[in-house]
Amino acid sequence: MKILVTGATGFLGSHLVKKLLKQGHEVAILKRSFSDIWRIATSLSQLWVYNLDECELNQPFKDHGKFDAVIHAATCYGRNNESIQQVVETNIIFPLKLLEVAASFGTDTFFNTDTFFNTDSIQYTYLNGYALSKKHFVEWGKQFANKGKICFVNVKLEHIYGQQDDASKFTMCIIKDCINNVAEIELSPGEQKRDFINIVDVVAAYSLLLSKISMQPKLFQEYELGTGKPISIKNFVEAVHQLTKSKSVLKFGATPYRENEIMISFANIAKLEELGWKPTIDLLTGIKIIIENQSTN
């Protein structure tokens, strides 16, 4: 297949790109000229690379014709003091333009990477602008699909983690702090539950969905992607602490919950299981892999 990927230099996108290449697909990526390419540096020679700040959005389509699928993995969380305008541009305007271009060139399927923050009632103050922008784009995707322009597959991700994740992410911060024996780690009470899913299983799910393109009607499709088994933040942190044999003091309750904290979130994976997918890496194994990788670097 011919596949176009956004967010290819990021955590999820880079793993997807390497998997697609390994499977023999032809892959084009959209990035910026100043993007940090460390995750895909060894794969660049195998890719069709387009810098968004140096070409028109339709250039890959002009050069290579119809793409069988677009996998949209780029996002802006707004964590780094980005303005609301920047969040909207990245999470709504850019993918909407890409969706329109892809549909006009006859692309069969547009895979959108959504988030568990995107709920029917957005009350979570933290990352609220991000969640709202993701919700709005999905509504546009539904409109395109319902008009028969393209099949829009919305993948609603739970708490993804794994090797080469951003150092600023919660899972990586906890693992590194424990490895480094930071004197004290201040945490919330930790009773909120999250569905932690390893990047390997996430990529496997995307790969399976991609293989089912010909079976998808040109309608809106949505899949929740996680393990379906939430655990508390406290249990996660304690597992990391034990596996790293850390001397850090865990201070649960030292910081309050965020306003309108989501206390439990997990995926309903029944639809993916019907297609033959299931998670293969349990949380303890996933944590051990990261720890071993950190120890050798």
Contact yes or no for 2/25 (Cβ under 8 A): yes
- Residue for token digits 């942190």? 237
Structure tokens at 44: 């660049």
Task: List Cα–Cα distances, 185 to 175, 178, 211, in angstroms.
Answer: 11, 8, 44
Burial zone of 42 (CB within 10 Å; 0-12 exposed, 13-18 middle, 19+ buried) = exposed
Do the first three CATH levels of 2-161+195-225 and 170-194+228-296 match, i.e. the same topology? no
What is the biggest distance separating any 2 CA atoms in the chain, rounded to whole angstroms? Answer: 58
Mean pLDDT of the chain: 93
How far is C-alpha 112 from the chain's CA centre? Answer: 10
CATH class of 170-194+228-296: alpha beta
Structure tokens at 88: 């909207």
How far apart, in Å, do the first and last CA atoms of the chain sit? 35
Q: Give the pLDDT score at 31.
A: 97
Say if residue 120's pLDDT is above 90. Answer: no
d(CA 255, CA 250): 12
Contact yes or no for 231/196 (Cβ under 8 A): yes
Tally of CB atoms within 10 A around 106? 13
Q: What is the pLDDT of residues 59-99, one digit of tens each?
A: 999 999 999 999 999 998 877 788 889 999 999 999 999 99
**Residue 276 three-state SS:** coil
Say if residue 119's pLDDT is above 60. Answer: no
Average pLDDT over residues 209-215: 90
Give me the residue spans of the domains in the chain: 2-161+195-225, 170-194+228-296
Tally of CB atoms within 10 A around 190? 17
Say if residue 122's pLDDT is above 50. Answer: no
- What phi and psi, each to the nearest 5 degrees, are found at residue 185? -120, 110
Q: What share of the chain is helix, strand, coil (3-state, %, to 5)?
A: 40, 20, 40
d(CA 134, CA 111): 13
Positions of E strands within the chain: 2-6, 26-31, 48-51, 69-72, 109-115, 151-157, 159-161, 184-187, 193-194, 196-198, 220-225, 231-232, 249-252
Q: What is the dihedral sign for C-alpha 17, 64, 152, 122?
A: positive
Name residue 222's amino acid. E
Tally: H helices and E strands in the chain: 10, 13
Say if residue 104's pLDDT is above 80. Answer: yes
- What phi and psi, each to the nearest 5 degrees, are found at residue 29? -125, 150
Residues with catalytic annotation? 130
Q: What is the pLDDT of residues 224-278, one digit of tens each?
A: 999 999 999 999 999 999 999 999 999 999 999 988 888 999 999 999 999 999 9
Q: Residue 212: which residues within 8 A CB-CB, separation 6 or more? A: 275
- Of 235, 248, 244, 246, give the one whose Cα is nearest residue 292: 244
CATH architecture of 2-161+195-225: 3-Layer(aba) Sandwich (3.40)
Average pLDDT over residues 3-11: 97
